[in-house]
Amino acid sequence: MNDSQVTIKLTGDEALVLSHWLEKLQMTDLSRVVDDPAVWAPIHRIAGTLDKTLPELFASDYDQRLESARQRLRPQD
């Protein structure tokens, strides 16, 4: 495969929830969750990109923002 790049677009809510989940994933032993070490680099790259672009991560009401985003993303029954 060539060195072409892929762009993924997320809403702010999606980015915030994914960023939180990736942070938790990175705090675990990745080898127990992700069996292919080749996947680790993209996981770290995505997490790092989200960390740099989400000002909410440093907001004093981060937990409230995260929970609100989760609620908006959950399917409505």
How far, in Å, CA of 20 to CA of 23, rounded? Answer: 5
Write down the domain spans for the chain. 12-71
Please give the model's pTM, rounded to 2 decimal places: 0.83
How would you write the pLDDT of the chain (77 residues) with one tens digit per residue?
577 998 999 999 999 999 999 999 888 887 788 888 899 899 999 999 999 999 888 889 999 999 999 999 999 87
